[in-house]
């Protein structure tokens, strides 16, 4: 009999996972509380990196995949994967609201022996100390009646090399049987599934991955400022250092860390660290450095072009990385706000984002005093600037 799988949260993590599971032979039900998103998925108008619209249509037609807003439909699922966001609050603290709501609703409808897997990024101890009690509070089940595991998502939008199948997958369960079942599930559509000794190891591994990147982004941005002061081209420094075949990994300067993971996940680590009185001060400093990166770039640019007041400026690329439309935590947006605060007349071009802050993307053209390149999508035609000055936010030489 075909196993029934539920996936809660149909964003950049959940929808590709649902598609991969359906393609591997599972009967998949995707759940999302956003009515518009469900409608767009069904109509084929939702764009998620790594998901082809024709593939969705085929899965719907074959009834291998269905989507809904109704948690009650999860009653038949033997496996349920939670893939909801774990953002930050307005005070930059971990926000588990989506995870708590999804888990509480799910618990009302699960049956005995269901395997529940959390993929959302959380602080160490959350799966065991928060999810397990919440499931039991909202259901008639005890800890012996269901299986619980954690498997951190590893999705890199617009990465043409590493996808769901070939990116190694970490798993850990509350019991050996939960671990075995989780590994068996993922092994159907992922080549390399790696078992961790505990939930807490898997939870912390995810935080380490992105904290490592945050630290190195902060360091390379500091080094870029240093090189700028000396008139050294940071790109050539990185190129030279990259010839070392061991012990070095290249990172590149930018306006700071953006997106759904790198600026957010380390705070789940530092929050837990503060709670147990074991602060990780280097991460706090890295967050501070990256938050200041847009202002630091504008200080350097100001010394080059003078006052921004009254200048017409085109900002190219406002998403957090090239070839994606996601603007979450994008430092380009901070740069735009700072420029406007200083009296600049700012327009922006980003054909993937299209609309932000009730503003529309404008065409690249020469009707500006100068342009700032923040993010370059593959389809951005800089030749349309027709000779006006362009300042690259990734360069130490302006």
The answer to whether 30 and 74 are in contact (CB under 8 A) is no
Which is it for the CA torsion 133, 202, 32, 329, positive or negative?
A: positive
Taking a C-beta distance cutoff of 8 angstroms, is the pair 210, 262 a contact? Answer: yes
Pairing of strands 115-118, 355-356: unpaired
DSSP 39: H
Sequence-distant contacts of 177-180: CB under 8 A, at least 24 apart: 177/147, 178/115, 178/147, 178/148, 178/149, 179/149
Let me know: does 83 contact 9? Beta carbons within 8 Å.
yes
Whether 261 is catalytic is yes
Q: How far is Cα 29 from Cα 70, in angstroms, rounded to an integer? A: 10
Contacts of 186 (CB under 8 A, 6+ apart): 151, 169, 171, 193
Helix (H) or strand (E) holding 135: helix 132-137
- Indicate which residue of 83, 196, 261, 374 is catalytic: 261
Strands 4-8 and 79-82 turn out to be parallel
Question: Would you tell me how many other CB atoms lie within 10 Å of the CB of residue 145?
Answer: 15
- Rounded alpha-carbon distances, angstroms, from residue 324 to 113, 249, 297, 354: 39, 23, 23, 11
Whole-angstrom distance, CA of residue 141 vs CA of residue 250: 49
Radius of gyration in angstroms for the set of CA atoms belonging to the chain, rounded to a whole number: 23
And the tokens for 225?
A: 């400022």
Measured over the CA atoms of residue 122, residue 124, residue 128 and residue 134, the dihedral's sign is negative
* Active site positions, annotated: 261
């Amino acid at each position: 009999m075909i196993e029934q799988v539920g996936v809660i949260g149909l964003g950049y993590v959940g929808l590709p996972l649902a598609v991969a599971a359906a393609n591997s032979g599972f009967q998949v039900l995707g759940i999302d509380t956003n009515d518009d998103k469900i409608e767009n998925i069904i109509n084929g108008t939702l764009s998620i990196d790594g998901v082809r619209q024709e593939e969705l249509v085929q899965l719907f037609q074959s009834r291998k995949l269905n989507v809904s807003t109704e948690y009650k439909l999860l009653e038949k699922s033997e496996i349920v994967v939670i893939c909801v966001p774990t953002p930050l609050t307005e005070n930059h603290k971990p926000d588990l609201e989506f995870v708590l709501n999804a888990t509480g609703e799910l618990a009302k409808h699960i049956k005995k022996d269901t395997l529940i897997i959390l993929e959302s990024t959380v602080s160490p101890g959350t799966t065991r100390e928060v999810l397990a009690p919440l499931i039991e509070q909202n259901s008639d089940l005890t800890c012996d009646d269901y299986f619980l595991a954690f498997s951190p998502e590893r999705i890199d939008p617009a990465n043409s090399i590493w996808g769901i199948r070939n990116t190694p997958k970490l798993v850990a369960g509350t019991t050996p049987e939960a671990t075995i079942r989780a590994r068996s599930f993922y092994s159907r559509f992922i080549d390399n599934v790696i078992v961790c000794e505990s939930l807490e190891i898997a939870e912390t591994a995810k935080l380490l991955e992105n904290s490592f990147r945050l630290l190195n982004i902060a360091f390379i941005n500091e080094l870029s400022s240093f090189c700028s002061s000396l008139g050294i081209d940071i790109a050539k420094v990185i190129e030279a250092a990259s010839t070392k075949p061991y012990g070095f990994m290249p990172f590149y300067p930018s306006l700071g860390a953006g997106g759904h993971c790198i600026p957010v996940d380390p705070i789940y680590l530092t929050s837990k660290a503060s709670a147990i009185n074991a602060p990780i001060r280097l991460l706090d400093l890295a967050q501070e450095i990256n938050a200041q990166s847009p202002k630091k770039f504008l200080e350097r640019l100001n010394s080059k072009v003078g006052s921004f007041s009254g200048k017409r400026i085109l900002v190219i690329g406002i998403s957090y990385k090239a070839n994606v439309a996601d603007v979450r935590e994008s430092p380009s947006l901070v740069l735009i706000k700072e420029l406007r605060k200083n009296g600049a007349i700012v327009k922006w071009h980003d054909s993937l984002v299209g609309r932000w802050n009730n503003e529309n993307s404008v065409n690249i053209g020469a009707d500006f005093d100068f342009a700032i390149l923040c993010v370059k999508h593959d389809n951005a035609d800089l030749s349309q600037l027709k000779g006006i000055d362009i300042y690259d936010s990734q360069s130490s030489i302006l």
